[in-house]
């Protein structure tokens, strides 16, 4: 910021570049556990204080359980997992807690052994097994247990994502989930569809999963496809759950969490969106933003869905918005020294920061995007009327003596004082560490109008001294300006994570 070299005026235009501005009411919660048995039990605890019936499936073999969610929903039964030859202790304890009277075992004795059935009976529950010669027959027998329906879902039976993504919708509507090979429907499934006189078939998955041949061989087919599992789940959510504000999120790389969570999703009328463990696929991001999903229940521990993904979901759902204010502009150049001009330096840093924030799903309002000259009052008005969550004004410093150097961040106690101070501290910490500049500290005494009159958490950052020859040279380097933008970005992220 120009202190003595050039008379300084703050400038602004009311230029809105807002990405996904929402109410900032989003939240994320997690149903985790040490393993998939724990997750299943914790899902049950989340949705059921008691249950007359429980569904049991093999913790590794998804094939038999793909069609289980509509059955579980019909009986208001959580889905729990077990090892094939011994009833897992976590599952046993959960059955006892639920005070279950009956258990439906999904799959043949190769999936859940007769020994496990005996252990279940020793708990005083009745046990029914639904099995078949293969996964297709198991799904058909589950369908017959659910009861005849004029509409059915048909999904690829040799992988899990599509069947699990459609499960909440199918379950709530009583539509059985039938399974098929890619290019031909098993005869037993074809017979069931014929005998039930099915009037509509919902095909889940693209042609790589369920071919045109299959599509053309079933009654009144309607396809919900996508180029990958994430897009299929996203399209299901957009078609059937667009009026909902909450979603369940599970890894799309393994089946267990989505399986046990599918009946909870049906019970609470939420879609299941899929993610990778360390980043949210674009298809999932688009579904969240396009449908306005604000709140998320994550299934699985951080090994399945990382903390980073959880934080990104919070941003996507909450619609967190940052006002970035590049100081000066137009006829007000700000400070200058050694061939560098403040208004140009800070606009470059601000645009780099904007890019980082937008790529991380934050909404951004830029007070200027080119060499314009607004007013202080307009700047403050934009911040106060925007509904944004924070305001960051970016400057470079100057002094009459060329020896002055370092980085400093200002805040003001007039409005949102504790949050403003925290934001200043986090940004200052990151800047000093990244740039290696002298730490001039955090200053809450200056009454700069843009932070004094702004009602949301606000700071004014002085990156370095353009009046210092060494720091002016650093500021002239695009790599240094990128470091500054990255550091401010990290400070903003840390601030929101600590709220």
Catalytic residue annotation: 462
Cα 467 off chain centre by: 44
Residue given tokens 């399974």 in the structure block: 179
* CB-based burial, 418-455: b 16+ in 10 Å, e otherwise: ebbbbbbbbbbbbbbebbebbebebeeeeebebbbbbe
HEC string for the chain: CCCCCCCCCCCCCCCCCCCCCCCCCCEEEEECCCCHHHHHHHHHHHHCCCCCEEEEEECCCCHHHCCHHHHHHHCCCCEEEECCCCCCHHHHHHHHHHCCCEEEEECCCCCCCHHHHHHHHCCCCEEEEECCCCHHHHHHHHHHHHCCCCEEEEEECCCCHHHHHHHHHHHHHCCCEEEECCCCCCHHHHHHHHHCCCCEEEEECCCCCCCHHHHCCCCCEEEECCCCHHHHHHHHHHHHCCCCCEEEEEECCCCHHHHHHHHHHHHCCCCEEEECCCCCCHHHHHHHHHHCCCEEEEECCCCCCCHHHHHHHHHHHHCCEEEEEECCECCECCCEECCEEHHHHHHHHHHHHHHHHHHCCCEEEECCCCCCCCCHHHHHHHHHHCCCCEEEEEEEECCCCCCCCCEEEECCCCCCHHHHHHHHHHHHHHHHHHHCCCEEEEECCCCCHHHHCCCCCEEEEEEEECCCHHHHHHHCCHHHHHHHHHHHHHHHHHHHHHC
| 383/399 Cα distance (integer angstroms) | 29
> What angle, 0 to 180 degrees and rounded to 10, lies between the N-to-C axes of helices 229-240 and 282-291?
10
Q: Which of 237, 288, 315, 312 is nearest to 25 (CA)?
A: 315
Q: Which of 335, 471, 332, 317 is nearest to 399 (CA)?
A: 335
Residues 6+ apart with CB under 8 A from 194: none
């Amino acid at each position: 910021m120009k202190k003595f070299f050039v008379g300084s005026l703050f400038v602004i235009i009311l230029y809105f570049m807002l990405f996904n501005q929402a109410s900032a009411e989003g939240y994320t919660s997690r149903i985790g556990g040490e393993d998939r048995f724990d997750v299943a039990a914790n899902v049950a605890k989340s949705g059921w204080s008691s249950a007359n019936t429980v569904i049991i499936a093999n913790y590794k073999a998804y094939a038999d359980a793909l069609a289980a969610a509509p059955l579980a929903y019909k009986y208001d039964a959580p889905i729990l997992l077990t090892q094939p030859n011994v009833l897992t202790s976590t599952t046993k304890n959960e059955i006892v807690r639920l005070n279950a009277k009956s258990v439906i075992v999904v799959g043949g004795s190769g999936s859940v052994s007769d020994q496990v059935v005996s252990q279940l009976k020793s708990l005083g529950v009745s046990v029914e097994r639904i099995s078949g010669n293969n996964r297709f027959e198991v799904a058909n027998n589950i369908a017959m247990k659910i009861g005849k329906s004029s509409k059915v879902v048909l999904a690829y039976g040799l992988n899990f994502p599509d069947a699990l993504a459609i499960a909440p919708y199918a379950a709530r509507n009583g539509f059985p989930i039938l399974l098929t090979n890619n290019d031909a429907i098993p005869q037993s499934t074809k017979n069931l569809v014929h005998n039930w006189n099915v009037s509509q078939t919902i095909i889940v998955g693209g042609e790589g999963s369920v071919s045109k041949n299959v599509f053309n061989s079933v009654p009144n087919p309607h396809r919900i496809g996508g180029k990958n599992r994430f897009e299929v789940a996203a399209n299901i959510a957009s078609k059937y759950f667009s009026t909902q504000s909450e979603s369940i999120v599970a890894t799309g790389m393994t089946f267990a969490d989505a399986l046990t969570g599918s009946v909870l999703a049906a019970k609470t009328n939420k879609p299941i969106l899929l993610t990778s463990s360390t980043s949210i696929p674009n298809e999932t991001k688009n579904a969240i933003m396009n449908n306005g999903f604000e709140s998320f229940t994550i299934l699985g521990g951080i090994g399945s869905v990382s903390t980073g993904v959880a934080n990104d979901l919070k941003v996507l759902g909450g619609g967190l918005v940052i006002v970035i204010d590049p100081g000066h502009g137009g006829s007000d150049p700000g400070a200058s020294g050694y061939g560098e001009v403040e208004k140009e330096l800070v606009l470059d840093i601000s645009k780099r920061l904007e890019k980082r924030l937008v790529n991380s799903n934050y909404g951004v309002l830029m007070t200027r995007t080119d060499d314009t000259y607004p007013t202080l009052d307009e700047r403050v008005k934009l911040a106060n009327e925007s509904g944004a969550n924070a305001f960051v004004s970016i400057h470079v410093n100057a002094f009459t003596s060329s020896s002055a150097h370092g980085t400093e961040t200002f805040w003001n106690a007039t409005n949102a004082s504790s949050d403003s101070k925290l934001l200043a501290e986090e940004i200052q910490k990151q800047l000093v560490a990244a740039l290696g500049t002298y730490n001039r500290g955090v200053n809450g005494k200056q009454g700069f109008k843009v932070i004094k009159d702004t009602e949301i958490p606000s700071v004014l950052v002085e990156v370095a001294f353009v009046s210092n020859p060494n720091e002016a040279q650093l500021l002239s380097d695009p790599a240094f300006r990128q470091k500054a933008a990255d550091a401010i970005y990290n400070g903003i992220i840390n601030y929101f994570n600590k709220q």
